[in-house]
């Protein structure tokens, strides 16, 4: 037991040293360094977490709480985003991922109401939030584990009466060209307005989107452009953008992400586009990271066991 506690203390030190600034791969690199360390009762639990959380079909009847880190945690007391609302529809209902913390559901309702004021937009088509009790997913997403992440489709809704079958077959639209170095004809000022509205919301921690979308906004923004700092670059976010909320005030179990760097980040976005168009020579010293194994229950905060077993 003493040796195990010494190991746990070393893990704390390593995690503290490993939490650097953010970059274009931040969503998928956080892993262990962003994890809340498991409580003692979880240390010997070798079950694969995604199989357990992926099997849950309803939220826990607990006080709402985001537990752990965005890419290593779970969610108590999630609530369900209604499948259809006045200005939104939840997509891919078969996945049962339209669950989140109350602050996330409130935010999405607010943002969709704004989207409905944009020309040609009836509101928002909303993709994956979280599983009913959060946690790792059976497929896709390194994050979306604590009920504070949401994917929002780039496709402007022209109607909000899609059937469940249509929500499974309909696809979003691609808004980039040249591997993210340019926007295409599907991109519009309405996309930018919705992203700006989201970034200016104090509940929002950051938003992930492809590089050229941010450059487009940087070139047209006027006045206070500090909100652009929340727009972070991430590959493959061209059919949707990903909104991440900050830890709710007073939630002691939620582990905050490092703040976004100071400034609007526009110079970095322009450089990212330049690097796509004219890739720099490969780093001869680059060592690829080892393959990521399954997340075990022992990797999650100890409270996640109680979330799984709660009514």
pLDDT of residue 41: 61
Per-residue pLDDT of the chain (311 residues; tens, 9 = 90+): 333 333 333 333 333 333 333 443 444 443 334 434 445 567 789 999 999 999 999 999 999 999 999 999 999 999 999 999 999 999 999 999 999 999 999 999 999 999 999 999 999 999 999 999 999 999 988 999 999 999 999 999 999 999 999 999 999 999 999 999 999 999 999 999 999 999 999 999 999 999 999 999 999 999 999 999 999 999 999 999 999 999 999 999 999 999 999 999 999 999 999 999 999 999 999 999 999 899 999 999 999 999 999 99
Map out the domains of the chain as residue ranges. 2-281+291-309
CATH classification for the domain delimited by 2-281+291-309, as one of 3.30.1380.10, 2.60.40.10, 1.10.357.10, 3.40.50.300: 3.30.1380.10
pLDDT of residue 40: 56
pLDDT of residue 140: 86
Cα torsion through 61, 63, 68, 72, rounded to 10: 20
């Amino acid at each position: 037991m003493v040796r195990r506690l010494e190991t746990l203390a070393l893990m704390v030190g390593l995690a503290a040293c490993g939490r650097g600034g953010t970059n274009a791969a931040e969503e998928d690199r956080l892993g262990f360094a962003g994890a809340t360390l498991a409580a003692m009762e979880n240390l010997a639990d070798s079950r694969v977490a995604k199989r357990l959380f992926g099997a849950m079909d309803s939220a826990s009847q607990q006080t709402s709480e985001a537990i752990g880190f965005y890419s290593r945690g779970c969610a108590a007391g999630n609530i369900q985003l209604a499948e259809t609302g006045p200005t939104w529809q939840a997509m891919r209902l078969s996945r049962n991922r339209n669950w989140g913390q109350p602050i996330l559901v409130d935010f999405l309702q607010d943002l969709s109401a704004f989207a409905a004021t944009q020309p040609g937009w009836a509101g928002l088509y909303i993709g994956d939030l979280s599983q009913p009790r959060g946690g790792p997913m059976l497929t896709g997403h390194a994050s979306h584990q604590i009920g504070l992440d949401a994917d929002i489709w780039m496709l402007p809704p022209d109607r909000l009466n899609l059937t469940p079958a249509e929500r499974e077959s309909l696809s979003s639209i691609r808004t980039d060209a040249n591997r993210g170095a340019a926007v295409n004809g599907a991109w519009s000022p309405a996309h930018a307005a919705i992203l700006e509205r989201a970034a200016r919301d104090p509940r929002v921690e950051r938003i992930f989107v492809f590089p050229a979308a941010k450059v487009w906004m940087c070139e047209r923004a006027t006045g206070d452009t500090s909100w652009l700092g929340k727009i972070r670059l991430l590959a493959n976010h061209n059919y949707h953008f990903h909104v991440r909320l900050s830890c709710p005030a007073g939630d002691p179990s939620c582990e905050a992400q490092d703040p976004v760097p100071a400034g609007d980040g526009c110079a970095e976005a322009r450089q990212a586009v330049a690097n796509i168009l004219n890739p720099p020579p490969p780093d001869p010293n680059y060592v690829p990271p080892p393959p990521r194994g399954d997340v075990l229950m022992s990797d999650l905060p100890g409270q996640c066991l109680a979330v799984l077993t709660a009514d």
